Structure 1
Amino acid sequence: MSAILDACSKPGTAASGSETVQIARPDNPVTLPMNGEPIATDTPIEQGATLQILNWSVYMWKYVINQFVQQYGDNGIKFSGITTFNNMDEGVQKLQSGKIKADVFFPTIDVLGKLVAADLLQPLNHDLIPALQHDNWAAFQNPYYDQGWRYSVPYTIYTTGIGYRRDVIPDDVIHGMDNPWSILWDPTHKGKVGVYPSYRDVMAIALMKNGITDLNTSNDADLEKVRTDLLAMIDAVSPRIAYDASYNKLQNDKFSVTTAWSGDVVAGWSYAAPYTEAAYKGFGYWFPADRKGPIDNDLIAIPKNAEHPRLAHEFINFWISFRHAMDNFSWNGYQPPQTKADVNALTHTQGLYNKQSSSWAAPADYVSPWMPDAVVRESDFGIGYREGPLPADVDDHWHQIWSEFTAGVGS
């Protein structure tokens, strides 16, 4: 069983044993097996509990967490901090170690089935999470990767594109390119190119650059193109790996162009001193106008060893309800799939975080008006390309290529 998690958390290993992980795709939806039953609806909220969260770094507004704690003050709920990780490999390793007994964990789609196969997650009680059906897009009521949402709910939605400095790369230049993905290989920007420490996303961009839209490919020829291009990137632009490439280092002139998740660039205004609209107008986000590019969503799940499973259900329901989801969005820049949110108004609607921070930052909308490419629409999920789980041998091949690339890249 542990070998299954090894396959998704450690380069250079392969799964073995009798456990089988079904490979979910939009055209091959998967119903994950039930590992026991969800907690009973009448399970009491754990009294005096300290909420334990295992999540990506800089991905939750603590103000909203404290709002949850206050709402459940009569139960003596406390919160001391978030245990964080900078990529999914690290997050899975921390969960698998058992040293952290998180109440909620924030996985990606590609590892969900492996976590279930390793019995590291517990099934959800739908009666305790009514906000999913009340407030979230229909696309997530029965997702392909978790039919019947047995183990997960959607957290945020995002596209993967290009972040850039508009004073170095004007909008009309990148939008006018025949293949904008190739800008990450342009020697003009040597020493100023940043990439994420995320093998799936960086390799997906190399695939897109080559016109390959299967972001889960096992084809040796496809992967050899990725390998060749990534090694060529080292020679052409001397890229550097940075988790905060597009929301910090881009704004502070460490990079001119980066791989970028839409939410990172949206949130970057709070890193652009002197925190004025004029300062942040220097940064842009590109994603294909036809919306044919990488698109995905992150998840919230409850670990099997959670010490406060009823509290975890309450937290999930709170976090994906309209007001709290949008308040968090105003801080972390990552759009939630909220039915009541008018996607056409996001570029001219101010969120709670900026309203509270107006003493030090210019008014900022949920999404800056000059970044319409960063707004995600429900229809995008029927157009864009998803990064799903990989079979163990394929994942091993991907990791081998990634390891060869990172061996020659600085940080």
Structure 2
Amino acid sequence: MKGFQEEYGVKVVQSNFDSMESMQAKLAAGNRYDVIFPSAQWVQKLTAANKLYPIDHSVLTNAPAIFDHYDYFADPWYDPGSAHSVPFTMYKTGIAWRKDQLGDELTGSWRDLWDDDARDHTFVLDDRDEVLGMAALLLGLPLNTSDVHELDRIVETMGTLRPYLRAFSSDDYLNLLGGDAWLQQTWSGDMAAVLWQADDPGLYGFESPSEGTPVNSDTYAIPANAEHPGTALLFIDYMLRPEVAAKNIGYIGYPMPIHGTEEVYDDLIASYPACKVTLEDLAGGHYFTGGSVESTRVRDAAYTEIKVG
């Protein structure tokens, strides 16, 4: 941000949202932002609602660093032709743990979250899709199921996990670094951030459970009501510069699909290969999709029931 401001004389004002739902509510209320960072399924939802500005790749001088090298993003499932978004980061969800408390190896299953040795030190993400998706994968159900009978099974399964849980919390890396979490459902990028911030990275492990791991990507997008879409495109193009992206990768711990930055991320996670996210993961993995109004309703209800207990 600072480099962009200094180079172009543009002041960047940041607004933070505690969830994608909050971001959507702000947009629906008419709030105006020039650039937002929706996840893949939210690009799908916002595009369907005509809330995103079309992006002309030809005006992005650094776009070839993505689209000439990462074919997946030329036509991703959530945004055909990447017509309304530009990829920002890639990540997957797994389990992080404290080796000093639980040992050097877990079993490689989502069932590891039920480890009695971590009782009251176990956290899951405070994220509807991640929680429902984790239980769905464990049970062999579709990741995005909205079948009420399958959701009942998910609620029942999560009910058996509740006695082990300290909290639902998406402050995953803070929970791990602070020692509160011995087991934490976590995003791979946040795990990488733990590794470079920890005094002793060897205390931590990360696994990709064998039942499957959700994969996702965050994006750059421009709201349809943006006041300065031209400046927004300039900002996105600046962020796509390989040297700028490399600095961001080192800071946030998430890989970016920009040619010339791969080595930075590989070095960051060299001792923790389970964190690595590949295009094969994105193309063939489990990903969250935007659902219908009814699907949203029943999934919201299931998640509320899980949290209330």
**TM-score of the two chains, using structure 2 as the length reference:** 0.92
Deviation at 1:111, TM superposition (A): 2.3
Instruction: Give the match for residue 149 of structure 2.
Output: 221
2:103 aligned with 1:170: yes
Q: CA RMSD in A?
A: 2.0
Identity rate, percent: 27
Equivalent residues of 1:157, 1:336 under 8 A apart: yes
**Secondary structure, aligned partner of 1:305:** coil
**Secondary structure, aligned partner of 2:90:** strand
2:161 aligned with 1:233: yes
1:90 is matched with which residue: 16, 22, 34?
22
Deviation at 1:218, TM superposition (A): 2.6
Q: Cα gap change, 1:135/1:114 in structure 2, threshold over 3 Å: closer, same or farther? A: closer
What is the rounded CA distance, in whole Å, between the counterparts of 2:30 and 2:254 in structure 1? 29
Which structure's residues are more often helix, by fraction? 2
- Unaligned segments of structure 1, at least 5 residues: 1-64, 349-365
The 5-angstrom pairing of residues 50-65 of structure 1 reads: 65=1
Instruction: Give the match for residue 285 of structure 2.
Output: 384
Instruction: Give the match for residue 50 of structure 1.
Output: none
Deviations 1:322-374 (A, max 9, x none): 2212211110111111233346x7443xxxxxxxxxxxxxxxxx22x331111
Deviations 1:99-156 (A, max 9, x none): 3x21101112222233223332211122222423333512101112111111111110
Instruction: Give the match for residue 15 of structure 1.
Output: none
What is the rounded CA distance, in whole Å, between the counterparts of 2:44 and 2:279 in structure 1? 24
2:174 aligned with 1:248: yes
Instruction: Give the match for residue 263 of structure 1.
Output: 189
1:105 is matched with which residue: 29, 36, 39?
36
Equivalent residues of 1:103, 1:307 under 8 A apart: yes
Higher relative contact order (CA 8 A, sep 6+): 2
Instruction: Give the match for residue 247 of structure 2.
Output: 327
2:7 aligned with 1:71: yes
2:90 aligned with 1:157: yes
What is the rounded CA distance, in whole Å, between the counterparts of 2:60 and 2:154 in structure 1? 41
Q: Cα gap change, 1:132/1:169 in structure 2, threshold over 3 Å: closer, same or farther? A: farther
Deviations 1:262-287 (A, max 9, x none): 00110014553xxx3xx222112111
**Secondary structure, aligned partner of 1:171:** coil
Deviations 1:50-92 (A, max 9, x none): xxxxxxxxxxxxxxx111112213xxx112x421112211221
**Secondary structure, aligned partner of 2:100:** coil
Deviation at 1:289, TM superposition (A): 6.8
Q: Give the partner amino acid of 1:197.
A: D
2:256 aligned with 1:336: yes
Q: Give the partner amino acid of 1:91.
A: M
Q: Give the partner amino acid of 2:128.
A: Y
Instruction: Give the match for residue 295 of structure 1.
Output: 215
**TM-score of the two chains, using structure 1 as the length reference:** 0.70
Q: Give the partner amino acid of 2:139.
A: N
Equivalent residues of 2:110, 2:209 under 8 A apart: no
The 5-angstrom pairing of residues 138-153 of structure 1 reads: 138-153=71-86
What is the rounded CA distance, in whole Å, between the counterparts of 1:299 and 1:103 in structure 2? 14
Equivalent residues of 2:249, 2:265 under 8 A apart: no
What is the rounded CA distance, in whole Å, between the counterparts of 1:319 and 1:289 in structure 2? 35
Question: Where has structure 1 moved over 6 Å in runs of 4 or more?
Answer: none
1:205 is matched with which residue: 96, 118, 134?
134
Q: Give the partner amino acid of 1:268.
A: V
